[in-house]
Structure 1
Amino acid sequence: MKVAIAVFVKTPDLSPVKTRLAATLGRVQADAFFHLAKAANEALLAQAVPDFAAQGISLSAYWAVGEQQGLAHPLWQSRFMHRLHTGEGGLGERMHHVYSTLLHTHDAVLLVGMDSPQNSVSNLRDAAQCLRQPQRLVIGPARDGGFYLFGGNTPVPLSRWTAVQYGQDDTLQQWVAALHGYDIHYLNAMTDVDTAANLRQMVAEMQGELLPEQLALRVFVQGLPHHADSADSYS
C-alpha cells in the first residue's frame, strides 16, 4: 500500500504566517512557534516512514507549499520530504489539487496542517490503516470546529471542497455535510493551534514518548508568561 502525507505550509517572507498568534504573542514568538512546529512535523514524518514500512505501508511525505516560489526556499529542502505546489485559489481548491494529484500515484492520501505538532505516529498510522478499506475517507476533528487531518482513497469532486467555508466554527459540520454518501472514519479530536490560548492545550495533548522536537515545543510553551494568552479565549 502506497500512502502520501502532505503537510500544508506557507513560506515566511512570501506569505503571512501565524498572524493570529502574533497578534497576542508578538511576531518573534509566533515565528518561534512556526519553526518549532515545522521541525516537529518533519521529525514526526521521518519517524513514521519506517514505522509504516513495518506495517507494509510505503509512505511518501510532502510539503504542500502555498507559493510557487516557495518550492525553492531553504526551509522546505529536506533529505526525505518531497515538495509540491498547492496550486492557486482558495483552501478548498488547493486541498483538492494536492489530494487529487497525489491520489494518481498513491493508494491513499492524508492532508494535514502544520498547526497540530502534538500529533503522533500512532495516530497517523491509524488513519492510514483505516484507508485499507476501499472507498473510505478519514477525518481528524479539530477542537475549534474545523479539522486537522483529512484523508481518503477515493476521488472527491472539486464541488465538494468548494462547498465549505473554511476557518469557521462549523467548518467540520459543513465538510461532513458536503461529503454525504461517503464512508467516513473519525480519529480522536485534537487542538489546531491558531491562537495563544491553544498552546497549552496542545501541550496537554502530547501523549506517550515525545520526539525531541516536540519536547522543545513543550519547553517553549512552558517558558511563555502565563498572561500571554489572557486576552485570548480557547474554543
Structure 2
Amino acid sequence: MDKKEPLLLIFTRNPELGKCKTRLAAKIGDVPALEIYKFLLSHTVGITKDLEVEKHVYYSESVWTDDVWNDQTYKKQVQRGADLGLRMQYAFENGFNSGFQKIIIIGSDMYDLSQGDLEEAFELLETHDFVVGPAEDGGFYLLGMKSLKVKLFQNKSWGTETVLSDTLEDLKTEKVFMLPVKNDVDRYEDIKDIEAFQSYLKHIKE
C-alpha cells in the first residue's frame, strides 16, 4: 500500500443495546436508538467503502469481525485513551507513524455526510494544513491534517459546545479550511423532522 495515499479514520461504537446514542435513547428508548445507530453505521459504510483511500475503523470496545465493516475494506483497531481527545490523538499518531501524509477522522453518526464531502475534504488538504467540519452542537464532525498537532487533543471539554471554538483557537495561526456546518445525530430533535428516520419514531408521541 502506498503510504502517500490518504487515510480515513472512522470512530465507531460497538452497536450494543443500551450503550450507544444514550441521549437519543432517553427519549425514544434503547431498542429504537440501537436500530437508528445501526442505520447510521450502514450509511457511513455507504459513503466510505468506495473512497480511494486507506480506511481504518476504531471500535470503542472491541474489534468485531463479520460485521457491517467489511474486513477486506477496513482495517480494524480498538480506541485507546482515557478521553476522546487521547483516543483521537492515538489514532492520528498511528497513521502518521505508518507514513500516511493526509489523515481525516470522522465519527459514524453523520447522516448529512456524503462520499463527495469526504473526497472534497481530502482534496482541500492539498492546499490547506487543516480541514475542519463544524457541527451544529459546537463540536466538529470532521478533522483533517497533514501533520500531527497534539494541542488539538488536549484541554478540551469533549462533548460540549466549546470544542469547536477551542479547536479553532488552537488553529488560529494555521492554514485552515472550514467546511459547511452539519448536524450530527445525538438527540431526538436532530432527527424528528427527517424522513429517513420516521420508521424508527412511530411510537413517539410529541
Q: TM-score range by the shorter chain?
A: 0.7 to 0.9
Q: The residue matched to 1:2 in structure 2 has which SS? A: coil
1:15 positional shift: 8.2
- How many equivalent pairs are there? 201
Q: Which runs of 4+ in 1 moved over 6 A?
A: none
Amino acid at match of 1:71: V
Alignment correspondent of 2:189: 197
Taking the aligned partners of 1:147 and 1:60, their CA distance within structure 2 comes to: 22
1:200 positional shift: 4.2
Q: The residue matched to 2:51 in structure 1 has which SS? A: helix
Taking the aligned partners of 1:170 and 1:191, their CA distance within structure 2 comes to: 16
Taking the aligned partners of 1:225 and 1:37, their CA distance within structure 2 comes to: 15
2:183 is aligned with 1:173: no
Give the one of 72, 85, 95 matched to 1:92: 85
Alignment correspondent of 2:56: 62
The normalised TM-score by structure 1 is 0.78
Q: What do you get for the CA RMSD once the two structures are aligned?
A: 2.2
Alignment correspondent of 1:110: 104
Amino acid at match of 1:26: G
The normalised TM-score by structure 2 is 0.88
Q: The residue matched to 1:75 in structure 2 has which SS? A: coil
- Listed as ranges, the gaps of 5+ residues in structure 2 are none
> Does the 8 A contact of 1:9 with 1:114 survive in 2?
yes
1:23 positional shift: 0.5
2:32 is aligned with 1:29: yes
Amino acid at match of 2:29: G
Which segment drifts farther, 8-17 or 107-116?
A: 8-17
Amino acid at match of 1:80: T
Deviation per CA, 1:183-219, whole angstroms, max 9, x where unpaired? Answer: 1111111001000110146x4xxxxxxxxxxxxxx44
Amino acid at match of 1:154: S
Taking the aligned partners of 1:164 and 1:18, their CA distance within structure 2 comes to: 21
Taking the aligned partners of 1:15 and 1:184, their CA distance within structure 2 comes to: 37
Taking the aligned partners of 2:12 and 2:58, their CA distance within structure 1 comes to: 6
1:155 positional shift: 1.5
Taking the aligned partners of 1:222 and 1:164, their CA distance within structure 2 comes to: 34
Q: The residue matched to 1:129 in structure 2 has which SS? A: helix
Alignment correspondent of 2:46: 43
Deviation per CA, 1:86-126, whole angstroms, max 9, x where unpaired? Answer: 21210000011111211232111110011113311111111
Taking the aligned partners of 1:141 and 1:93, their CA distance within structure 2 comes to: 20
1:127 positional shift: 0.5
Deviation per CA, 1:43-88, whole angstroms, max 9, x where unpaired? Answer: 1111323xxxxxxxxx011211122xx1145436513111122212
Q: The residue matched to 1:228 in structure 2 has which SS? A: coil
> Does the 8 A contact of 1:196 with 1:228 survive in 2?
no
